[in-house]
Amino acid sequence: MSRARRTVENAFGILSARFRVLRATISLDPEKTTTLIMTCVLLHNFLRKTGSSMIYAPSQYYDSEDEITDDGREIRKEFAEYFSNEGLLDWASKYY
């Protein structure tokens, strides 16, 4: 969940850096707010796909995965296997 939160915050940070309307409270009804945000996302994706994407959003704007994350994935996998098998608590079995 932490990784998902970081990804969403990173994406919204990029959008708000480029689209000033997202920097303040949006005083629109929810349907129009959804349309506004989706429009910003579509414009963002369009600008990223054009030839000037390095000018629009250089690579240092984005988080990247590295070997530390790979280590974290391996540790998580080990914990998941342990708690799914030999480390399973008696009371937890009714939830699976």
**Do residue 71 and residue 38 come from a single domain?**
no
pLDDT digits (tens, 9 = 90+) for 47-57: 877 766 566 66
**Do residue 45 and residue 82 come from a single domain?**
no
**Do residue 8 and residue 20 come from a single domain?**
yes
- Token pair recorded at residue 50: 């054009």
**Do residue 6 and residue 27 come from a single domain?**
yes
Q: What share of the chain is helix, strand, coil (3-state, %, to 5)?
A: 75, 0, 25
Range of the domain at 71: 67-96
**Do residue 28 and residue 60 come from a single domain?**
yes
**Do residue 39 and residue 57 come from a single domain?**
yes
**Do residue 56 and residue 72 come from a single domain?**
no
Q: What's the rounded Cα separation, in Å, for the pair 30 and 77?
A: 40
**Do residue 49 and residue 80 come from a single domain?**
no
pLDDT digits (tens, 9 = 90+) for 25-84: 999 999 999 999 999 989 888 887 776 656 666 666 666 555 556 777 888 888 888 777
Q: Is the pTM of this model over 0.75?
A: no
